[in-house]
Amino acid sequence: MAVKRLDELNSLVEDPALWDDAERAQNIMRERTKLEDSTKTIREIETTIKDSAEMIEMAEAEGDEAIILETEATLNKILVDVQKRQLNSLLSGEADSNDAFLEVNSGAGGTEAQDWAEMVLRMYIRWGEAHGHKVTILDMNTADEAGIKSATIQISGDMAYGWLKTESGVHRLVRISPFDSNAKRHTSFASVVVSPVIDDTIDIEIDEKDLRIDTYRSSGAGGQHVNTTDSAVRITHIPTNTIVACQNERSQHKNKATAMTMLKAKMYEAEIQRREAEASDAHGEKSDIGWGHQIRSYVLHPYQMVKDQRTGHETSNTQAVLNGDIDGFLETTLAHRLGMDE
């Protein structure tokens, strides 16, 4: 199917009339490049599997156990990669291929919770960077002593929203607080909201009269160079009390435009949540979709463990997770949501 579609796209690209519609041409070129990369990878995997099978056969004939083990390790890596690509191919929601806005808010608990919120933010920034995505800080409200009260970033890259869409929810941390002189164990919470960066293909109507727009001076990360004027913008959608803010640009006009995009993204995500909740109710399923439920626990004391409450997936390598190695959790949760683990 992919090869046939690639042939169709190659024929379209050869037509000079294609560029009469620049937007359509760009979309076709993007699809063509993506399919070329996919088919090339598939051929490479097929070649590696064939070569590995021959290598194992030869090694067995010669009794070379080391070569057999090395080749089996190569095949196991390929299996993991294929499973990930299979999951990626199932991300077919209308916004799954889009970039993502990710917002982190500290829960109650003052400095302890604010420090945890910054750790969560750093985890996602590291994840994005590790996958070659562009990460942009759009807004950050830093805390007085340590950490952040809230922050919003944009993660730009292939399937960014599709991979991160199950991360919305409450993240719980248990640890010995570095801010407690008595070295007591503390529990902290941070909430995460993920929404897709929507383009012109998705129409979200917002009535101007429903908005309150405030401007203020930028401050903190992403705003140091623009803090002499009221360039930062905060928009409140009054009927839903949805609030977005942007202070990334020098221009108030650009910050307002980005904030409006963020607001539309939140409104669209809320609609997705509503549809999925209705679908779950229609099938008699208990839905855990929403922004208020606890999705993952990070325990640093008295033992080391990160565990997803929805799937049971866990690891004791807490440091790796906090450094952005969350693919195992993303894959397991997406597979669970798509029904691949049944």
| DSSP state string for 303-327 | S-EEEETTT--EES-HHHHHTT--H
**pLDDT single digits (tens) 173-228:** 999 988 877 778 889 999 999 999 987 666 787 888 999 999 887 765 444 444 45
Residue 18 CB partners (closer than 8 Å, separation 6+): 12, 24, 25, 28
The distance from CA 161 to its chain's CA centroid, rounded to whole angstroms, is 5
Distance CA(147)–CA(145), nearest Å, equals: 7
Domains of the chain: 2-89 (1.20.58.410), 100-338 (3.30.70.1660)
The distance from CA 308 to its chain's CA centroid, rounded to whole angstroms, is 16
**pLDDT single digits (tens) 47-104:** 888 888 888 888 888 888 888 888 888 888 888 777 677 766 667 677 888 899 999 9
- Token readout for 334 is 């997406």
**pLDDT single digits (tens) 95-132:** 888 899 999 999 987 889 999 999 999 999 999 999 99
Give bridge partners of residue 216 from the DSSP assignment.
232
pLDDT of residue 285: 46
Exposure string for 225-239, b = 16+ CB within 10 A, e = fewer: ebeeeebbbbbbbee
This prediction has a pTM of 0.71
Quote the DSSP letter at residue 291: S
Distance CA(241)–CA(81), nearest Å, equals: 42
